[in-house]
Chains A and B, each alone.
Chain A
Amino acid sequence: MNQPLKQHLIDPEICIRCYTCEMTCPEQAIEHDDLNVVVDAAKCNFCMDCIPVCPTGSIDNWRVVDTPYSLEEQYGWMDLPPQEEVAGDEAGLEALDDAMAALLAEAHKGAGGKSRAPATASKPTINLYTLGKPAEARVTGNYRLTAESSDSDVRHIILDFGGQPFPVLEGQSIGIIPPGTDEAGNPHLPRLYSVSSPRDGERPNFNNLSLTVKREPYGICSNHVCDLKPGDTVRVTGPFGATFLMPSDPAAHLLMICTGTGSAPFRAFTMRRQRENPKLRNSLTLVFGARRPQELPYFGPLGKVPEQFMAKHFAFSRQDGEPKHYVQDRLRAEADRVGELLADPQTHIYVCGLKAMEQGVEEAFKDIARAKGIDWTGLRDRMRDEGRYHVETY
């Protein structure tokens, strides 16, 4: 069977036939007749040069297909066909290149099916920069987030993109290309990191973003990133990810469950909410696990987020003189409130962290749901199809 393909298409209902894309395309992949402007799937290499030059946004359309739509088919269109269900497509349109799409598909597996973006999420940009044409970012900050005494070295890295447009949404990831080559002499593939700053930048209206990176023993990329100094430059691909996004609707309640650097997207979600709707009440719930408070990234700044804006529940598994607590234990301890949230159609659940947390969280939800007389698997699948249940674990 054929591997599903991603195809670049133009929405004929929105396109005004100015042909700017056609003039811009370095591959001559775009052509037109008297009716439509079309993209030749055999020539398009996703360089994205045509995306910013389009005045209408009609150019930014993608479909996962078994067989690409031919030029003749596209010439005959009055409007864009909807995305069809394609067998063997687990990844959807999270990324246009297969390596990154496979990484994200693996990370989202814990959701139990194909992920969908929240109904009111903003439209993400993906694959603007690729391995062949990466962006270059300058490091403007590298701060240790964990206590010096801890053996866990988690860092807050700030990257500045200068004049290069790099639009990201909260929950998206970027790829960092480590320098050097592997044993076979091939350049390293990018590693994915969740962005931990909101869309308008770590500092509003600066073209920058932040990452939350843990140094892993022998980790080629994490050591590279954790050792970066202000002024250093890194090669960046992306952005990637089109489902693990936050809803724009301020009435949506976000239940965010994370461990360690899984907090990165939730820092972004929280900051976005605070910048957009600082007066909201009971807007967010955070369940955050770490070994000790000293190892919990952003423990200090989190303390400053008012409890009535975001309910915070911490679980520590290695605190001296205390029993071991994991995020699933905190969920169970808050079973009444969590049960309420499960029943609320405004609730969006996000789970992010190490793969190991998945099962415990799933079990806790099952128990809490059962006590309320709800079938968890059915609810989870429904929520996922509605873009309200998201898992990203690694």
Chain B
Amino acid sequence: MLDLINVSYDTQIPNNVGLSQDKKVLKALEKWHPGYINWWNDLIPQNFQESLVYLRTAVSVDPKGWAKFDYVKMPEYRWGVLLAPQVENRTIPCGEHYGQPAWQEVPGEYRNLLKRLIVIQGDTEPASVEQQRLLALTAPSLYDMRNLFQVNVEEGRHLWAMVYLLHKYFGRDGREEADDLLRRQSGSEEAPRMLGAFNEETPDWLSFFMFTYFTDRDGKMQLESLAQSGFDPLSRTCRFMLTEEAHHMFVGETGVGRTIERTCQVMKENGIDDPYDTGRIRDLGVIDLPLIQKKLNLHYTLSLDLFGQEVSTNAANAFNAGIKGRYMESRLSDDHQLQQDTYTVWDFEDGKAVQKQVPALTAINMRLRDDYTKDAAGGVGRWNKIIEKHGVDFELSLPHEAFHRKIGVFADKHFDPSGQPVSGAEYDAGLPKWLPTHADGDFIQSLMKPCYEPGQYARWIAPPKVGIDNRPGDFEYVKLHMA
């Protein structure tokens, strides 16, 4: 009998989908495999490829087996195809087909819609690895370097997950799309990644932490809604990806938290009470809280743009078709069809941000974005607790959704972070207070010096409270290969 829990290693590609008995897909994936390995090998600097990294690998999709820790050279990481166990008699959780048996094959009428969603999701996975490829050179500790590489190899595995779906269910054009996922490059002129936020470089570690906190959280919300898909293989794929995505959220939240912690510690040690005394704080080699707020403003607003238009017929169609559900769809107690319901969205009228009711079906994006904001606000609250604990008078907050937007009703309109409309001149004057300036970037860059001693941390960041896999403080998370 086919074992669908434990990972099988009888093909080159670890999997729990019985690949060895699915010759056609196996052959297609084996053909794609060398291109992937080349992509990986060309990406991350060579000495890190040869280093031993303490990584977790899933050896099965049941809870006990999906976090097995060991030293691995990244190119030898067992990227595989892992789907969460099939739920018996699962039904389509939303839309006009609500309650019908979930699709095990692609429904012809939604083929293109589904393929596009999978391609967009797939495109973001390698993109973020490309954006982060040089960060290890300035890692503030081996612990952080390990976390970066864990995020990277798992984004790689998420690419595999999407490529498997393309190969398995979308025939020839699926294979072509899979090839294109390796052809596009983050930041490339000729073949950029599909979404804007994924073409920006991740220049420093604070940006990386902010990115994993805010932008990967958009990824998490997208995965959450795809995990509610009526197309069962997509749902199962995304459900397993979500367990890995939690680690990325962890890296972001604790990374920013440790940065804040260190800043507050150093301020207190040096008797600085005023968080706006940025000159003195920066001279002490830590990142001032107002700058952290500016970074937050930037990454949060860039991430909001990823949710698309507030009112969207595409999103309505995907929901109505049962292709993409809402966050925690199966836990919501309404009719799951939204034919009569309304939902509150932001709009722009007479130069002001106003809220109004629209048919809920068209507001699916807005709703997911609201769920995202609520999720993101939780961590900001916990960061504020750190500041409060140190007795520093400062509070971080999420800016208003109208601020600094490129997509949606507020695109390119002038609002300040509190959501007040401002003139162009006021906007220009306010920007250096609201978003990181080039000088701020230079300052952060000046702190980015590698710290490769086990148990040691760069001055600007506090050590973690708990080691990965319960490892002690001086654990050598990466055994660096010094060529």
Q: Which of B68, B385, B468 contacts A78 (CB 8 A)?
A: B385
The reply on A67 being an interface residue by CB < 8 A is no
Q: Are the C-beta atoms of A163 and B466 separated by less than 8 Å? A: no
Q: For residues 42 through 75 of chain B, which have their beta carbon under 8 Å from a beta carbon of chain A?
A: 59-60, 63-68, 70-71
Asked, given contacts A18-B250, A49-B63, A52-B64, whether A163 binds B470 with beta carbons under 8 Å apart, the answer is: no
What residues of A have a CB within 8 angstroms of the CB of B375 in the complex?
17
Chain B proximity of A192: nearest CB distance (Å):
21
Q: Are the C-beta atoms of A57 and B63 separated by less than 8 Å? A: no
Q: Which of A23, A24, A57, A128 contacts B466 (CB 8 A)?
A: A57
What residues of B have a CB within 8 angstroms of the CB of A164 in the complex?
64-65
Chain B proximity of A56: nearest CB distance (Å):
5
Q: Which 8 A-B pairs have the closest CB atoms?
A: A49-B63, A18-B246, A55-B250, A55-B247, A52-B67, A57-B466, A123-B470, A55-B246
Known: A49-B63, A248-B472. 18 other contacts (CB 8 A): A14-B466, A16-B249, A16-B250, A16-B379, A17-B375, A18-B249, A18-B250, A20-B243, A34-B378, A52-B64, A53-B66, A53-B243, A55-B246, A56-B254, A122-B470, A123-B470, A165-B68, A205-B71
Q: Are the C-beta atoms of B63 and A24 separated by less than 8 Å? A: yes
Asked, given contacts A78-B385, A205-B70, whether A165 binds B64 with beta carbons under 8 Å apart, the answer is: yes
What residues of A have a CB within 8 angstroms of the CB of B472 in the complex?
120, 122, 248
The reply on B195 being an interface residue by CB < 8 A is no
In the complex, per-residue mask of A61-92: 1 if CB is within 8 Å of any chain B CB, else 0: 00000000000000000100000000000000
Chain A proximity of B416: nearest CB distance (Å):
27
17 A-B pairs with C-beta separation under 8 A: A14-B466, A16-B254, A17-B378, A17-B379, A18-B246, A18-B249, A23-B242, A34-B378, A49-B63, A50-B63, A52-B66, A53-B67, A56-B466, A57-B467, A122-B471, A122-B472, A163-B7
* CA distance in complex: A13, B471 (Å): 18
* B465 closest partner in A (C-beta): A14
Interface residues on A, range: 20 to 34
* CA distance in complex: A13, B65 (Å): 26
* CA distance in complex: A248, B454 (Å): 14
The reply on B6 being an interface residue by CB < 8 A is yes
Q: Are the C-beta atoms of A165 and B246 separated by less than 8 Å? A: no
Interface SS of B by simple majority: helix
* CA distance in complex: A58, B382 (Å): 15
The reply on B253 being an interface residue by CB < 8 A is yes
Chain A proximity of B385: nearest CB distance (Å):
7
In the complex, per-residue mask of A40-62: 1 if CB is within 8 Å of any chain B CB, else 0: 00000000111011011110100
What residues of B have a CB within 8 angstroms of the CB of A53 in the complex?
63, 66-67, 243, 246
What residues of B have a CB within 8 angstroms of the CB of A243 in the complex?
none
The reply on A142 being an interface residue by CB < 8 A is no
What residues of A have a CB within 8 angstroms of the CB of B242 in the complex?
20, 23
In the complex, per-residue mask of B371-382: 1 if CB is within 8 Å of any chain A CB, else 0: 000010011000
* CA distance in complex: A122, B385 (Å): 29
Q: Are the C-beta atoms of A163 and B249 separated by less than 8 Å? A: no
What residues of B have a CB within 8 angstroms of the CB of A128 in the complex?
64
* CA distance in complex: A56, B468 (Å): 7
* B374 closest partner in A (C-beta): A34
In the complex, per-residue mask of A111-151: 1 if CB is within 8 Å of any chain B CB, else 0: 00000000010110100100000000000000000000000
* B67 closest partner in A (C-beta): A52
In the complex, per-residue mask of A96-107: 1 if CB is within 8 Å of any chain B CB, else 0: 000000000000
What residues of B have a CB within 8 angstroms of the CB of A55 in the complex?
246-247, 249-250
What residues of A have a CB within 8 angstroms of the CB of B469 in the complex?
57
Asked, given contacts A14-B465, A55-B247, whether A125 binds B470 with beta carbons under 8 Å apart, the answer is: yes
Chain B proximity of A387: nearest CB distance (Å):
15
What residues of A have a CB within 8 angstroms of the CB of B466 in the complex?
14, 56-58
In the complex, per-residue mask of A373-385: 1 if CB is within 8 Å of any chain B CB, else 0: 0000000000000
* CA distance in complex: A19, B67 (Å): 17
Interface SS of A by simple majority: loop
* CA distance in complex: A56, B249 (Å): 10
Q: Are the C-beta atoms of A163 and B246 separated by less than 8 Å? A: no
Chain A proximity of B34: nearest CB distance (Å):
27
What residues of A have a CB within 8 angstroms of the CB of B254 in the complex?
16, 56
Query: Considering residues B60, B470, B471, which has the most beta carbons from chain A within 10 angstroms of its beta carbon?
Result: B470
Q: Are the C-beta atoms of B60 and A163 separated by less than 8 Å? A: yes
* CA distance in complex: A124, B385 (Å): 30
* CA distance in complex: A17, B249 (Å): 9
* CA distance in complex: A55, B375 (Å): 17
Asked, given contacts A56-B254, A56-B466, A122-B472, whether A20 binds B70 with beta carbons under 8 Å apart, the answer is: no
Q: For residues 289 through 320 of chain B, which have their beta carbon under 8 Å from a beta carbon of chain A?
A: none
Q: Are the C-beta atoms of A60 and B470 separated by less than 8 Å? A: yes
* CA distance in complex: A48, B472 (Å): 22
Query: Considering residues B65, B66, B247, B379, which has the most beta carbons from chain A within 10 angstroms of its beta carbon?
Result: B247
Chain A proximity of B343: nearest CB distance (Å):
21
Chain A proximity of B472: nearest CB distance (Å):
5
* A24 closest partner in B (C-beta): B63
What residues of A have a CB within 8 angstroms of the CB of B65 in the complex?
52, 163-165
Chain A proximity of B73: nearest CB distance (Å):
13
* B386 closest partner in A (C-beta): A13
Q: Are the C-beta atoms of B250 and A52 separated by less than 8 Å? A: no
Chain B proximity of A235: nearest CB distance (Å):
15
* B389 closest partner in A (C-beta): A78
Chain A proximity of B275: nearest CB distance (Å):
22
In the complex, per-residue mask of B79-111: 1 if CB is within 8 Å of any chain A CB, else 0: 000000000000000000000000000000000
What residues of B have a CB within 8 angstroms of the CB of A23 in the complex?
242
Q: Are the C-beta atoms of A52 and B63 separated by less than 8 Å? A: yes
What residues of B have a CB within 8 angstroms of the CB of A50 in the complex?
63
What residues of B have a CB within 8 angstroms of the CB of A57 in the complex?
466-470
Q: Are the C-beta atoms of B63 and A163 separated by less than 8 Å? A: no
Q: Which of A14, A125, A163 contacts B59 (CB 8 A)?
A: A163
* B9 closest partner in A (C-beta): A163
* CA distance in complex: A16, B242 (Å): 14
* CA distance in complex: A155, B68 (Å): 30
Q: For residues 129 through 184 of chain A, which have their beta carbon under 8 Å from a beta carbon of chain B?
A: 163-165
What residues of A have a CB within 8 angstroms of the CB of B71 in the complex?
205
Asked, given contacts A52-B63, A53-B63, A55-B246, whether A16 binds B470 with beta carbons under 8 Å apart, the answer is: no
What residues of B have a CB within 8 angstroms of the CB of A122 in the complex?
470-472
Chain A proximity of B76: nearest CB distance (Å):
13
* CA distance in complex: A53, B253 (Å): 17
What residues of B have a CB within 8 angstroms of the CB of A18 in the complex?
246, 249-250
Chain B proximity of A337: nearest CB distance (Å):
30
Q: Are the C-beta atoms of B64 and A49 separated by less than 8 Å? A: yes
Q: For residues 236 through 254 of chain A, which have their beta carbon under 8 Å from a beta carbon of chain B?
A: 248
* CA distance in complex: A177, B140 (Å): 47
Q: Are the C-beta atoms of B64 and A48 separated by less than 8 Å? A: yes
* CA distance in complex: A48, B470 (Å): 15
Query: Considering residues A16, A50, A122, A128, which has the most beta carbons from chain B within 10 angstroms of its beta carbon?
Result: A16
